[in-house]
A = this chain, B = another copy of it.
Amino acid sequence: MIGGFILSHGEKTRITVEIYGQQYVVVGHESKEHIRQVAQIVDDKMREIGRRNPSLTTNQLAVLTAVNAVHEYMKLKEKVKELEQEILKRRVD
């Protein structure tokens, strides 16, 4: 089964990727290489979490992969804030 998904507006790229044995059509204006890389990371992460928690259903696995990705995103957002403050501080000095 194929699920369509729009990453961003402006539909330029359309690519089919396989994640955890299922195919997904990803549509967006990112490069195919970027989308393939994102799909690979999600696939790897699901397999990694699945190995550590063999009792989880695929559904739970996917949700926890999303939880993990958002957690990493928020940590990185904190880093961006710190770097921006450092740049601002240097401008003032």
Chain A interface residues (CB < 8 Å from chain B): 1, 3-7, 19-20, 22, 24, 26, 30, 34-35, 37-39, 41-42, 45-46, 49, 52-53, 55-60, 62-74, 76-77, 79-80, 83-84, 86-87, 90
Which of B20, B37, B68, B76 contacts A63, CB < 8 Å? Answer: B20
Q: Are A3's CB and B71's CB within 8 A?
A: no
A69 CA to B45 CA, complexed, in Å: 12
Which of A24, A49, A73 gathers the greatest number of chain B CB atoms within 10 Å? A73
| Copies of the chain in the assembly | 2
CA distance A5 to B46 in the complex (A): 12
Tell me the complex Cα distance, A84–B83, Å.
7
Smallest beta-carbon distance A51→chain B, Å: 12
Collect the chain B residues with CB atoms within 8 Å of residue A55's CB. 3
**Complex A-B, nearest 10 residue pairs according to Cβ-Cβ distance, in ascending order:** A62-B62, A69-B69, A3-B60, A83-B83, A66-B66, A65-B66, A73-B73, A5-B64, A62-B63, A42-B66
